[in-house]
Structures are given as C-alpha cells and as structure tokens.
Amino acid sequence: MDVQREVDATRREVEMRLDGPEGEQRVVARIARTYPTDVKDLFEACTDADRIARWFAPVTGELRLGGQYQIEGNAGGTITACEPPHAFDATWEFGGQVSWIAVRFTPDGEHARFELTHTAGVDPEFWETYGPGAVGIGWDLGLLGLAAHLGSGVGVSPAEAEAWSVSPEGKAFIAATGHGWAAASVAAGMEPDDAAARAERTIAFYTGG
C-alpha cells in the first residue's frame, strides 16, 4: 500500500457549531472520498448487510427507513432518512452517547463520491483530550476498507483489519490520518500546538503507543 496516497485520497473537515437543542456546542467531522464505481453500487455497498460485513463489520437489524441497526462491537441506532441511491441518515448510539450521521452519494465524473458527516455534542473532557480524530480515524479506517472491498469485491475480515491496524503499515496510516485531522482542526480555528497534542494522544490510543 502507498500509505500517503491512501491518506491523500480522503478529504477531512471539522466544523464547530452552537446549534444544539439548548444552544450547546457541537462538533462536525466530515469525511469524503471518490471511488471507481457508480452511485448505485456505492450506495449498495454501504446499505446491504452482507456487503457491509466485508469492509466494516457485521451488522444486524432492519436497514430501512425507521429500522434499527446494530454494528457488531460498535454503534447502533435508527435509520432516520433514506433516499436510495443518494442518501441516508441515522443516529449513531454508542457508550450511552447519541450522535448523528448523514451519508451522501453523488456522481463524480465517471466515479462516485462518498461523503459522511458525523455530528456530536461536545464532551469537554473528551474533546480536550482527543479532538475530532477520535471519531475521524475510525471513519478513515472504514473508508480504506471500503476501497479494498470495491477494488476486490471481497474486502477483509474484521480480524484481518484489526491485525493490520497494529502492523507497521497500519500504524503509519493511522498516524498520517491523525495528522490529517489535526490539520482540519487548525483550519477550523484550533491552535496548531493544541491540535497536534490532541492528535498524538488519539494516535497513541489507536496504535497502543
């Protein structure tokens, strides 16, 4: 793998908002990548349980509007909007916290573009420690798995993905994406030294360093 090429294939953005129900702060992490397929196939890869298991993790439930889902070892929630093959929204519920994802699929020349927006309330202690990379790196790993699946039609198992993530190549990828989220944080107004420190703590969490 050309780690830097894979990192550069993805766009990362961070935005801070004061639009919670009571005016509280929210953080928005946005990640996007273009894949060599069409919109219909990309949508199916992200909404068909059999295919999701090939690049992300096994998922159970009803993957339809109003249906509830559970990703093995990860989040669950409710599908709150679905417009095949262009969009779906869902709650993202994990560890007693509720956040929201919105996924869009659009043509990009002869290819298709995936864009995910993850909006969450700010836990001050968690945010000060890790910053947006805490969720962003996980999505980077997911989008890399999606690229492998679309490229091969098979993808990798969760066990293989976990083993790769602690390999030298996997750690290099995680570090590079962590720095990418730090750069996105700086673009959103965070002080560079603060963004770098949060990124290093997040990278260490993911790599066991």
Which two structure tokens, joined as six digits, stand for 114?
């995936």
Instruction: Give how far Cα 24 sits from Cα of 27, 120, 123, Å.
Output: 10, 11, 11
Q: Residue 159 has what pLDDT?
A: 77
Give the total residue count for the chain.
209
Q: 58 by DSSP, 3-state: which?
A: coil
Which two structure tokens, joined as six digits, stand for 106?
């659009």
Amino acid residing at 79: I
Q: b vs e for 117-148, b when ≥16 Cβ sit within 10 Å of the residue's Cβ?
A: bbbbeeeeeebeebbbbbbbbbbbbbbbbbbb
Kind plus residue range of the DSSP H or E element containing 163 = helix 158-165
Q: Residue 17 has what pLDDT?
A: 83
Q: Which residues pair with 26 in a beta bridge?
A: 17, 121
Q: Which residues pair with 147 in a beta bridge?
A: none
Q: Residue 71 has what pLDDT?
A: 96
What whole-number distance in Å separates Cα of residue 181 and Cα of residue 14?
Answer: 8
Q: Residue 52 has what pLDDT?
A: 95
167 CB contacts (<8 Å, ≥6 apart)?
none
Q: Give me the domains of the chain, ranges plus CATH numbers.
A: 3-207 (3.30.530.20)
Q: Residue 20 has what pLDDT?
A: 67
Instruction: Give how far Cα 183 sits from Cα of 9, 32, 34, 89, 162, Å.
Output: 15, 15, 20, 27, 26
Instruction: Give how far Cα 149 sits from Cα of 44, 51, 144, Å.
Output: 12, 8, 9
Q: Residue 56 has what pLDDT?
A: 92
DSSP secondary structure of 91-157: EEEETTEEEEEEEEEEEETTEEEEEEEEEEE--HHHHHHHTTHHHHHHHHHHHHHHHHHHHHSS---
Q: Residue 154 has what pLDDT?
A: 67
Tens-binned pLDDT, residue by residue, of the chain (209 aa): 789 999 999 999 999 987 766 677 889 999 999 999 999 999 999 999 999 999 999 999 999 999 999 999 999 999 999 999 999 999 999 989 999 999 999 999 999 999 999 999 988 899 999 999 999 999 999 999 999 999 876 677 777 878 888 899 999 999 999 999 999 999 999 999 999 999 999 999 999 87
For residue 73, report the phi and psi dihedrals to the nearest 5 degrees.
70, 15
